Chain A
Amino acid sequence: DAGVTQSPTHLIKTRGQQVTLRCSPKSGHDTVSWYQQALGQGPQFIFQYYEEEERQRGNFPDRFSGHQFPNYSSELNVNALLLGDSALYLCASSFGVHEQYFGPGTRLTVT
Chain B
Amino acid sequence: GNSVTQMEGPVTLSEEAFLTINCTYTATGYPSLFWYVQYPGEGLQLLLKATKADDKGSNKGFEATYRKETTSFHLEKGSVQVSDSAVYFCALSDSWETSGSRLTFGEGTQLTVNP
Contacts and interface: CB of A to CB of B under 8 A. Distances in A.
Given A97-B98, A97-B99, A102 B108 contact: no
Interface size class of A (residues with CB under 8 A): 20 to 34
A94 interface: yes
Contacts of A42: 4, 89, 91, 105-108
Interface size class of B (residues with CB under 8 A): 20 to 34
Contacts of A40: 108
A31 interface: yes
A40 to B, nearest CB: 8
A56 B102 contact: yes
A58 interface: yes
Contact of B102 (A48, A95, A102, A105): A48
Interface of B: 4, 34, 36, 42-46, 49, 89, 91, 97-108
